Structure 1
Amino acid sequence: MYFSIMKDTTRHQGKRRLLAQIVEKKGVSNTAVLDAIRKIPRHFFMDSSFEDHAYQDKAFPIAADQTISQPFTVGFQTELLEIKKGDKILEIGTGSGYQTAVLCEVGAKVYSIERQQELFRKTKNFLSKLGYRPKRLTFGDGYLGMPEFAPFDGIIVTAGAPYIPKPLLAQLKIGGKLVIPVGDEVQTMIRIVRKTQTDFEKKEYGEFRFVPLLEDKN
């Protein structure tokens, strides 16, 4: 899935600057998020056969029938979380680790769950080689979250969910935000803010396409 020899050239860096401009034009304005897109070598997170496509604003296949999300989507979801440095963020679906790296770059303390064993093993090893060290990276069922580390300032779901899992709502701090794409063929991006123990505010942010969020372990 990832290169054994990883090179980040000035050509790659130039392409990242252009990619950040595209993401900004599409509506992402958070400086820290755009800086992360400019900094992180996205081609490291993809199969070498896709290297030439790494800085297009598109999703691409990775291992285990999953995808690396479109950079705009990564930026948009991260911006919706309104992360402050040191915030505890739970990521559901580690995948390639690109979104994880973006969360680390913007200053989050990241807790991440991956359901695909193959991806979990590769990505855990790979992220540490790049110097990104989430507080916790776990193989497990994302629908259940990580209650042992709750509450979280934010939760980001990086796959399409047919419904909003109640355990994730329960693991939000008061004032915490859950960003989740909900739907079957096409998903609606939803942000839920926990106002009190029992009161949640919900807002919709347009349509996206994600691979499905899978239940249960392999």
Structure 2
Amino acid sequence: MIQSLQGIGMTSARTRERMINRLIQQGICSHKILDVMRNTPRHIFMDEALAHRAYEDTALPIGYNQTISQPYIVAKMTELLLAASARLTCVLEIGTGCGYQTAILAQLADHVYSVERIAPLQKKAKDRLWDLKLKNVSYLHSDGGWGWPDHAPYDGILVAAAPPEIPEMLLQQMAIGGVMLIPIGKDDKQQLQRVTRTESGYDIEKLEPVVFVPFLSGRK
């Protein structure tokens, strides 16, 4: 496992550093986020056959018609989420997926509550985070549209799939001053949005075009 975590060849520290330099060129400014991504072995979150492509700036399949987001999107959404505070206390993640984004959030927040509708994916993610000794994460196998009301309100919510509109249940679980990053739209007409809850309602900013898997209901 130690060798696997460290990486060799196309998963080595040198390859990882090229990813970090590319993120800087793409406008990621947070040294805290860059350090976390530099030290998190992205290649262990995908099948061995694709591990050599782990540090490319592209989304890659992880099974069950799901993908691991490209490093830029992971960094950008995390940076936008953290922009409102030095450290997040309570974060809700919708879409555990392979667990890579979860691992990044877990190193920057006090606790992460991660919801996933596909049980086998979440089980693999949980095992990987355990290998990384990241134990400040709680997992729920559930429909992401319901959120996780037991631990609300959240000062940060990150959604890794695109619904046609913002789920009302997620809005209700935001803390006052809390921020949600969520892609909205269908197919190739999605837009990343930042929602901030205020005393009087919600401020919504449309940020940039993105491509995510669709936000589906139910559990598998």
Q: Tell me whether the two structures share a fold, i.e. TM-score over 0.5.
A: yes
Task: Check 1:209–1:86 CA distance in 2 against 1; reply closer, same or farther (3 A cut).
Answer: closer
Distance between the aligned counterparts of 1:7 and 1:102, measured in 2? Answer: 15
Indicate the residue corresponding to 1:23 in structure 2.
23
Residue identity matched to 1:189: L
TM-superposed CA distance for 1:135, in Å, is 3.4
Count of residues in Structure 1 that have an aligned counterpart in Structure 2: 215
What's the TM-score once normalised by structure 1's chain length?
A: 0.93
Percent of aligned pairs with the same amino acid: 37
- Answer yes or no: is 1:189 the counterpart of 2:161: no
Indicate the residue corresponding to 1:210 in structure 2.
212
- Deviations, residues 129-164 of structure 1 (Å, cap 9, x unaligned): 221124311100111101110000100001111110
- Answer yes or no: is 1:8 the counterpart of 2:6: yes
Distance between the aligned counterparts of 1:173 and 1:119, measured in 2? Answer: 29
RMSD: 1.7
Deviates more, 1:32-41 or 1:126-135: 126-135
Distance between the aligned counterparts of 1:86 and 1:212, measured in 2? Answer: 27
Indicate the residue corresponding to 2:73 in structure 1.
73
Higher share of residues assigned strand: 2
Report SS of the residue matched to 2:6.
coil
- Deviations, residues 52-105 of structure 1 (Å, cap 9, x unaligned): 111111110002111010000000000111153352110000001000010012
Report SS of the residue matched to 2:23.
helix
5+ unaligned residues in a row in structure 1: which ranges? Answer: none
Distance between the aligned counterparts of 1:4 and 1:115, measured in 2? Answer: 30
Distance between the aligned counterparts of 2:161 and 2:45, measured in 1? Answer: 17
Alignment of 1:52-201 (within 5 A): 52-82=52-82, 84-186=86-188, 187-196=190-199, 198-201=200-203
Deviates more, 1:151-160 or 1:82-91: 82-91
Report SS of the residue matched to 1:87.
strand
